[in-house]
Amino acid sequence: MGNFSELDMYLFGQATHYDIYKKLGAHPQVKGKKKGICFAVYAPHAQKVFVLGEFNGWDETSHELKRLEPETAGIYELFVPGLGTGSLYKYLIETPDGRKLYKADPYANFAEMRPGTASRIVDIDHFKWSDDAWMKKRQACETMDEQPMSIYEVHPGSWMRHPGYEEDSGFYTYREVARALTDYVKEMGYTHVELMGISEYPFDGSWGYQVTGYYAPTSRYGTPEDFAWMVNYFHKHNIGVILDWVPAHFPRDNFALARFDGTALYEHEDSRRGEHRQWGTYIFNYGRKEVTNFLLANGIFWTQAYHLDGLRVDAVASMLYLDFAKEEGEWLPNQYGGTENIEAVEFLKHMNSVLVGQGNGAILIAEESTSWEGVTKDVKENGLGFTLKWNMGWMNDFLDYIHYDPIYRKYHHNKLTFGMAYHFSEKFILVLSHDEVVHEKSSMIGKMPGDDWQRFANLRLAYGFMYGHPGKKLLFMGGEFGQYQEWCEARSLDWHLLQYADHIHMQTYMKELNHLYLAEKPFWEKDYDADGFSW
């Protein structure tokens, strides 16, 4: 049987093996008196599976994995004695029709630096955490309802870079980000950082939303140990860490999950269920238990192995609706003829009940852009069970309002007040995120009307209104000091602007606003209680 027991196989097939990541992948192990690495991969339709890498000179046939019983489980495994960490590797999957597929490990904990696509053997179990005080405090916090939350959304590769480098280099390491960002966030008064682009991905321009390594912090900024060190450092300075998480879709890159064993394994075979043509990606098959187990365990992995405080779940609307961004004939209805993706709904309920049910204080935040009922309602009451939800409606209405010249705003005050008509239907975060400052939408300061003086005054007004409105807060980096350029992942923020008085004043205003928000309980203590607000 090897590393897998019959119980492991059974739980994996039921989507309830919540630490399957400790079994699948490449892990140090001792068998008898021999130390080595145990490789295990799920590839039910493979004819044969081999592992090749630096350790065997990339020999394609010297290390064949054995298919475990029962064969229907589709697990292949091999223990390689004498092998240590550090080696690059891939799986060679031979399909029944004779094709050879060279695949990165779906459960790998580290990956080769792009443009390389191999996985790397690493041991992530021996980092010495020293954030006990933070973790105990987090566990004791039963709800975010009556806690302050001001989130600074950050793309680490472009927040700040070492000067004098080409566009695709000069990154701060995880440890450098930890030190510099902690100092900045504490001074500015934010309670949390939300990190984009952490799970490994090949293309910088996807910002990390086309993931190929769900269990691997990107190698762009260092090792898994460096990433753990960063989270630990944030926690020791009382800063929460939220991860952008992408269980809605994955890219077509042929070295990763796409057609993994020669068949549509992680995705649906039928393109009407299995593809987002608009994004050029595949949709996870939430009806296959082993696939939902992959995702469920991944969410738990980040909160347990790396102590992350929460996940912001990307593109939830695209998961909920079968016809999301699709034309007539491009989608299939569910068994009742409706547009709801019943399997995805069940996955989200399962995910939220299990992850929040751990009782360690980790939270789940939905980026959900529709009026789906009960996103933050308890699963037991037929809700989806998220802790919080991004308020996209407030964001759209408010940005529409604020772009008007003040003389015309009196005709549009309904844009300000409408949000309170539905605010208490969900537990909302007010967001001015990265999505609002890209694709020619202009920067936050660029959205404001008038001359420079008026633009800065309007932006201060905008943030003041945001902080006075019920709901937690999120602002994307650069918005706090009035960056003029749209955000671009290939360059640093324009920190040089802080030599000018307008930008210094803008930054100082945001710092004072955050600290006022933290100090005054009425700003956050009754965010989701109708008695806590009146016009």
User: Active-site residues: which are they?
Assistant: 314, 367
Q: Given the DSSP bridges, would you call strands 88-94 and 48-53 parallel, antiparallel or unpaired?
A: antiparallel
Neighbours of 195 (CB within 10 A): 26
Q: Which helix (H) or strand (E) holds 396?
A: helix 392-402
Residue 69 to residue 98: CA distance in whole angstroms:
23
Burial of 134 (0-12, 13-18, 19+ CB in 10 A): buried
All residues at 6 or more sequence positions from 9 whose CB lies less than 8 Å from its CB, including other chains: 68, 70, 73, 75
Total residue length of the chain: 535
Q: 3-state SS of the chain: helix, strand, coil percent to 5?
A: 35, 20, 45
Neighbours of 521 (CB within 10 A): 11
Question: For residue 486, what are its two tokens?
Answer: 């749209």
Termini Cα distance of the chain = 66
Kindly report whether the peptide bond that precedes residue 115 is cis, defined as omega within 30 degrees of 0: yes
Sheet holding 249-251, edge to edge: 249-251, 281-283, 275-276
Q: How distant is the alpha carbon of residue 459 from its chain centre?
A: 28
Nearest to 24, CA basis, from 47, 56, 49: 49
Strands (E), 43-167: 48-53, 66-67, 75-81, 88-94, 100-103, 119-120, 150-154
| 3-state SS track over 277-305 | CCCCEEEECCCCHHHHHHHHHHHHHHHHH
224-236 and 132-140 helices, crossing angle to 10°: 70
